[in-house]
Amino acid sequence: MSMMEAIVLSLVSSLAVCLLTGLIGVNRDWPDYIHVDYGLPVPWRVHVTNTIAGPVDKTDYDIVALATDLVFWIVVVGSITMSLYLMSQSTPLKF
């Protein structure tokens, strides 16, 4: 595997992890605001089901939080992929 393939693999993997964590919902039951947060570690989608004014069905998307979440997963998955790539090399890289 070349260095470029490792970089592309880490970018695609981090995008997949970011979008898959968007499927995990964390239910938050506050007394006047019941909602479900999607996205780990930064919630970038919020589905509101109940407020103090009564039941609602509203979904909010935060693009900045999505970008932050994507950058987080690029760093995590990229560092894991690069460390595995560097450990698989028979000769050490010279910088």
Condensed to tens digits (0 to 9), the pLDDT of residues 31-45 reads 889 999 999 899 999
Domain boundaries, the chain: 3-88
> What mean pLDDT is reported for the chain?
88
pLDDT over 90 percentage in the chain:
39
Q: Which of left, alpha, beta for 77 (phi over 0: left; psi -120 to 50: alpha)?
A: alpha
For position 29, what pLDDT does the model report?
Answer: 92
CB 9 within 8 A of CB 81: yes
Q: Residue 92 has what pLDDT?
A: 65
Residue 10 confidence class, pLDDT cut points 50, 70, 90:
confident
Longest Cα separation, the chain: 65
Report which residue type is found at 72: F
Instruction: Assess contact for 64 and 55: CB atoms under 8 A.
Output: no
Mean local confidence (pLDDT), 4-13: 86
Q: How confident is the model at residue 14 (pLDDT cuts 50, 70, 90)?
A: confident
